[in-house]
Structure 1
Amino acid sequence: MPASEALRGAPGTPGAPGTPLYGQFPTALRFSVREQSRNRLAALLLVLFVPLWYLLMTSIAGDKDLEFKLYSTGELLSVDGKHVTLITAGMNSLTMISGFVVFDAVRKALNFDKRLAFAGFRQSTLIGAKMLAIGIVAGTIALYTALALLIYWRPGLTGWATILAGFVTMTLTYGSLGLLLGVLVKNDLEGFFLIIMGGLTDTFLQNPLGNPAANKPALQYFPSFGPMQFSVGGSLGDTVMWRYLGFGLLWAASFAVIGLIVFHLRTRSRRPTR
C-alpha cells in the first residue's frame, strides 16, 4: 500500500479522525512490521553472518575450560569455553542486528509517523503497533540465532530453551535501544556507532575467555548480565534463574519507555484544538 493512501483521511479509512482503535491498529502494525522487516542488509547479516560468526568464535575459543560465576548461588562453574563463547557470540550478533533493524526502521518512518498522527491516528495506536512489531521481529531474529547455534552445540531441551529466552531478552533490549536512538539522535552514524560499540563491549565483558575480570560484581550493571546468567545457568549449570531474566527485561522496558516518551513528543499533533 502506498504511504499516501493511508493519509487521505477519507471517511472509513483507518487514518480518518474518529475511526475506532481496532480500525487503526492493523494498519499501523502493518506499516511497522513492513518497515522493520524490509532491511535487506540486516536479513543478509542474520542469514549469513550469524553461522559464520559462530564458526569463527568457536575456532578461536577451542576447548579450554573456564570458571563462570553464577551470582544467584555464588558458585563457580567449570564450563567448556567454547559453549560460553557460543552464547556470547549469539548475543553479540543479536545486539547489532536487532539494534540496527529497529534503529533504521524508526529513523526512516519517523516523518511518516508524524503524518499519520496528523491525519488522525492515535499516538497510543502508533506506539502499541511499534512495540508489537519490535516483539515480532525480535522473536524471529532470536529464534533463528538459537537454531543456528545447534549446528555447533546441542544442549538439552531445557538448556536450549533458556538460551532462546536469553536471546529473546537481548534482542528486545537492543531493539528497544534502537527505538530510543532512532527518535533521539540526529545522524545515522551516531546511532550505528552507539549500537555496535555498546553491543560489542557489553557482551565481550561477560565472557571469561576474553575478559579476565568477567566474574567481577561490576558486570551486574550491564544489559547483557541478566540474560547471560540465565542462559549459562540453564544450559551449563542446570539452574533456571528467572530473576536474572527479569533483569534483562527491565533493561528492555527502560529503553522502550524512554524511547516511546520521546516518540510521543516528536509525533504529537500540533494542530490547534477547538
Structure 2
Amino acid sequence: MTSDSLATATRYALVEQSRNRFAMVLIMLFVPGWITLAGFILPNTPATFRLRAADIVLRPDGHQLSQVAGAINTTTLIAGFMMFAATFTTGDFDRRLVLAGCPRAHLVLAKMVALVLAGAVVCAYATAVIHVYWHPQQPWFMTAALLCASATYGVLGVALGAVLRKEVEGMFAITMISMVDVGLQNPAFSGGAGSDAVRFLPSYGTFQAATGAAFSSVRLGSCLGLQLLWFAGAAVLALLAFLRRSRNALPNR
C-alpha cells in the first residue's frame, strides 16, 4: 500500500508538470534566449573569477561566464516556477489524496521526484545550448551542478506554494531571490563577486562548481555537497510547510 500510494502520487505529479504549457514555453524560448543574449550583448573581455574551493583564479571571457550565470538563473527560475505552480494549484487535490489515505510525506516526495526528472531535462538542455556557442570542459559535471541548484529552487517553490496565498507573491519572490543570488556572484555584473559574503548565497556551491567545470578540469565535489545541503534545508522547509497546509485534511480521531 505504501509503494502504491507513492507511485500514484508520483504519477499525478508528473502529469501536473506535463500540463504546465507555460513552463514548456519558458524552457524552449527563455533558456536559449537568455543564453544567446548574454553571448551577443555582454562584453567578451576577460573577467576575473575566483574558485575558492580550489584556491585558483580563472579569467574566462565575460560573455561566456555570463552565459554560465544565465544558465543557472534560467534553470533555477523555471524549476521554482514549475514547483510553485504545481503546489499552489493542486492544494485541494492534495487534500483529497490525504483523505483517501495517501501519506503527506509521499506527496512531497513525489513532487521532488518530478522535480529531479524535469530538472535533469532542463539542465541538460541549458548545457546543450551553451555547447552550441563554445565547449565547456566538463559538460556533464556542469549539468549536475545546474541540477543541484534547480532542485534547491524547486523545493523552495514547493515551500512558497504551500505558504503564500497569491500566485504573484510566489512568482515575485522566486524571481527576486534568483536574480539577487546569481547576480551578486557574477563579476561581470557585481563588483562584490569576490566578497566572502557570497559564500552564504543559495546557489554559491553551484556557481563555483559550474564555473570550474566550464573553464577548467577541476571537479569541485565539495561545492556540490554544499549545494545539496541547501537542497536538504529547503526540502525540510517544504515538508514542514506542506504538512502545515494539509493538516486540516486529516480526519479527526
Query: Equivalent residue for 2:221?
Result: 242
User: C-alpha root-mean-square deviation of aligned residues, in Å?
Assistant: 1.4
The residue type paired with residue 172 of structure 1 is: A
Task: Looking at secondary structure, tell me which structure has more helix per residue.
Answer: 2
Gaps of at least 5 residues in structure 2 are none
Query: Alignment partner of 2:49: what SS?
Result: strand
Query: Alignment partner of 1:69: what SS?
Result: strand
Q: Judge conservation of contact 1:68–1:77 (CA < 8 Å) in 2.
A: yes
Query: Alignment partner of 1:66: what SS?
Result: coil
Query: Distance between the aligned counterparts of 1:21 and 1:165, measured in 2?
Result: 30
The residue type paired with residue 126 of structure 1 is: L
Query: Equivalent residue for 1:7?
Result: none
With the length of structure 1 as denominator, give the TM-score of the two structures. 0.88
The residue type paired with residue 120 of structure 2 is: G
Query: Alignment partner of 1:198: what SS?
Result: helix
The residue type paired with residue 153 of structure 1 is: W
Query: Equivalent residue for 2:252?
Result: 272
Deviations 1:81-131 (A, max 9, x none): 122111001011112111111100110111111111012112232222222
Query: Equivalent residue for 1:208?
Result: 187
**Is 2:147 the partner of 1:168?**
yes
Larger Rg: 1
Q: Judge conservation of contact 1:87–1:163 (CA < 8 Å) in 2.
A: no
Q: Judge conservation of contact 2:136–2:213 (CA < 8 Å) in 1.
A: no
Query: Alignment partner of 2:158: what SS?
Result: helix
The residue type paired with residue 146 of structure 1 is: T
Q: Give the share of equivalent positions with the same residue, in percent.
A: 33
Shift of 1:162: 2.0
5 Å matches for 1:1-274? 20-156=1-137, 159-268=138-247, 269-273=249-253
Query: Equivalent residue for 1:12?
Result: none
Q: Judge conservation of contact 2:184–2:190 (CA < 8 Å) in 1.
A: yes
Shift of 1:74: 2.8
The residue type paired with residue 160 of structure 2 is: L
Shift of 1:248: 1.1
Gaps of at least 5 residues in structure 1 are 1-19
The residue type paired with residue 109 of structure 1 is: T
Query: Distance between the aligned counterparts of 2:168 and 2:144, measured in 1?
Result: 30
Query: Alignment partner of 2:58: what SS?
Result: strand
Q: Judge conservation of contact 1:28–1:129 (CA < 8 Å) in 2.
A: yes
Shift of 1:270: 3.2
Query: Distance between the aligned counterparts of 2:221 and 2:62, measured in 1?
Result: 24
**Aligned length in residues:** 252
Deviations 1:185-235 (A, max 9, x none): 111111000001111111111111111211111100101111011111122
Query: Distance between the aligned counterparts of 1:37 and 1:248, measured in 2?
Result: 27
Change beyond 3 A, Cα 1:71–1:122: same
Q: Judge conservation of contact 1:142–1:168 (CA < 8 Å) in 2.
A: yes
With the length of structure 2 as denominator, give the TM-score of the two structures. 0.95
Query: Distance between the aligned counterparts of 1:77 and 1:127, measured in 2?
Result: 40
Q: Judge conservation of contact 1:141–1:171 (CA < 8 Å) in 2.
A: no
